[in-house]
Structure 1
Amino acid sequence: MTYCLGLLVTEGLVLLADGRITAGSQVSNARKATRHGPEGAQIAIMTSGLRSLRDKTLAFFDRTQRKRFPNGHGSMLEAIDSYCQSLREVEEQDRGALEKSDLHFNLHAIVAGQLEDDPEPALFLIYPEANWIAVDRRTPYLSIGSVAYGKPILDRALRYETPMENALKLAYLSFDSTRFSSADVGYPVDMMTFAASDRRWREVQYDYEDLVAQRTWWNEHITKLAAEMPAGPWIESLLPSADARRLALVRDE
């Protein structure tokens, strides 16, 4: 399993992908977020699924780009179309052999960027069938892999108008919630941003030790907030102290 996340906010894009690979009892690390295209015309692709399908699809996509778009795709829709063609080609070649081995053709991808003809950054989710959806500003994120654990904090706190700095924090907390509850998701974690203001990609990889302060702060504060949550009658009636109060009232009568 994996966890890849793409956020679209007013200032641009925030991407995150964990780096843990599990195969049976073996655990290793590998990149799941990569950039493709010449400098100044790059898009980012994050994938979840069989590693062999990922590598072959991206190899076909890069080959198509070198042959047909040596200066990069002109728009995200053009890049998405090239990726989907590559995915269909791999599906045609490999689906039969995979099914004979009881494996599913299961490659999902998040594709993000802004190219020359695009008025603003864009974020897409591509399914194994090579159809796709674009992010909606009302729910400005897409995730693939082990998506259940990191979703609540994004649904509660993320908006299209969220500043990029806060979006980065939410992306990390979404990953940390997933990592904490899913053994198949873990460090290292790759994070990327694309700023609409200068159309530049920025990227950093973090390991477990790099984010100790953030992880400790969150654990301490979420525990403190739970303790400080207003109680009142709804919870007091379920505690032993409520029985003591009732007994006291009976005695007084």
Structure 2
Amino acid sequence: MTYCLGIRVRDGLMCLADGRLTSGMQSHSAGKVSMHHFGDNDICIMTSGLRSIRDKTLAYFDDLCEEVENKNDLKLRHAINIYTQALRQVGVEDREALQRSNLHFDLHTLISGQLNGDDEPMMYLVYPEGNWIEINERTPYMTIGATSYGKPFLDRALRYDTTMDTVIKIAYLSFDSTRISTVDVGYPIDMLTYTKEHNWRHAVYEYDDLAPLYNWWNEHLSDLIAYLPDKNIFKSLVED
């Protein structure tokens, strides 16, 4: 299982991907985020699905990008179309063999960045079939993988005008909630931000790095529950 989160707000982009990879009874760490140079800019790609499909699609994508002339005049959606071309080619080559092994052709992708043709940072979700949607003001985030557990934090707290400092905290809490609820999601995590100044920043965190945040949140969350004013609504359930 995977947890990848992409957020697009007025201040820029935020990307988070967990690093736990499971296969049968085995678990180890493997990056689910990669950076790809396109013209003068870098594109962030996060994936959820079969690792073999991911690696082959990204290799084909890099090959196709090398064939493109005048990359500096394009928008990110043009790079998305190149990626879907690579994804569909892998589907043609591998889908039937995977089905014979009772495996689904499953690769969801979040692609983020800003190319010279874009007026602002952009983010897209690409489905296994190769179709895609844009993450925009009305839908400022998208998750792939274990999508349910961190959703309450995102729906309640995240808005398009949320500041990047707060976006990072919300992203962390959505991951932490997912990690607690499923053993297939865990550290290390990659966290990336992108500002309108065309600057990607990337950090990798282990559990010990963020343990103070986890401990603070658990302590204060318990306090909040204890002090939640019920105005005697539940009185009949606890008193005779």
2:223 maps to 224
Q: 1:69 to 1:48 in 2, by over 3 A?
A: farther
Q: 3-state DSSP class of the match of 2:233? A: helix
Once the two structures are superposed, what CA deviation does each residue of 1:10-61 show, in whole Å capped at 9, x if it has no partner? 1100000000000000001111011101574111100000000000000000
Q: For 2:223 and 2:230, how far apart are their aligned partners in 1?
A: 14
Where does structure 1 differ by over 3 angstroms across 4 or more consecutive aligned residues? 69-73
1:170 maps to 170
1:73 Cα shift? 7.0
Structure 2 gaps of 5+ residues are none
Structure 1 gaps of 5+ residues are 244-253
| Letter paired with 2:203 | V
RMSD of the TM alignment (CA)? 1.3
2:159 maps to 159
Is contact 2:191-2:202 (8 Å) kept?
Answer: yes
Q: 3-state DSSP class of the match of 2:61? A: helix
Q: For 1:100 and 1:222, how far apart are their aligned partners in 2?
A: 48
1:138 Cα shift? 2.0
Which stretch of the first structure deviates more once superposed, 200-209 or 72-81? 72-81
Q: 3-state DSSP class of the match of 1:237? A: helix
Q: For 1:187 and 1:72, how far apart are their aligned partners in 2?
A: 36
| Letter paired with 2:214 | R
2:236 maps to 237
TM-score under structure 1 length normalisation? 0.92
Aligned length: 240
1:142 maps to 142
1:237 Cα shift? 1.4
Is contact 1:37-1:72 (8 Å) kept?
Answer: no
1:41 maps to 41
TM-score under structure 2 length normalisation? 0.97
Q: 3-state DSSP class of the match of 1:234? A: coil
1:233 Cα shift? 2.4
Select the structure of larger CA radius of gyration: 1
Is contact 2:72-2:116 (8 Å) kept?
Answer: no
Q: 1:179 to 1:209 in 2, by over 3 A?
A: same
Is contact 1:10-1:160 (8 Å) kept?
Answer: yes
| Letter paired with 1:181 | S
1:223 Cα shift? 0.8
1:177 Cα shift? 0.2
Is contact 1:189-1:206 (8 Å) kept?
Answer: yes
Is contact 1:37-1:65 (8 Å) kept?
Answer: no
Once the two structures are superposed, what CA deviation does each residue of 1:163-186 show, in whole Å capped at 9, x if it has no partner? 001000000000000000010000
Is contact 1:139-1:155 (8 Å) kept?
Answer: no
Once the two structures are superposed, what CA deviation does each residue of 1:98-119 show, in whole Å capped at 9, x if it has no partner? 0010000000000011110001
Aligned pair 1:88/2:53, yes or no?
A: no
Is contact 2:72-2:117 (8 Å) kept?
Answer: no
Q: For 1:93 and 1:29, how far apart are their aligned partners in 2?
A: 28
Q: For 2:89 and 2:36, how far apart are their aligned partners in 1?
A: 19
| Letter paired with 1:156 | R
2:120 maps to 120
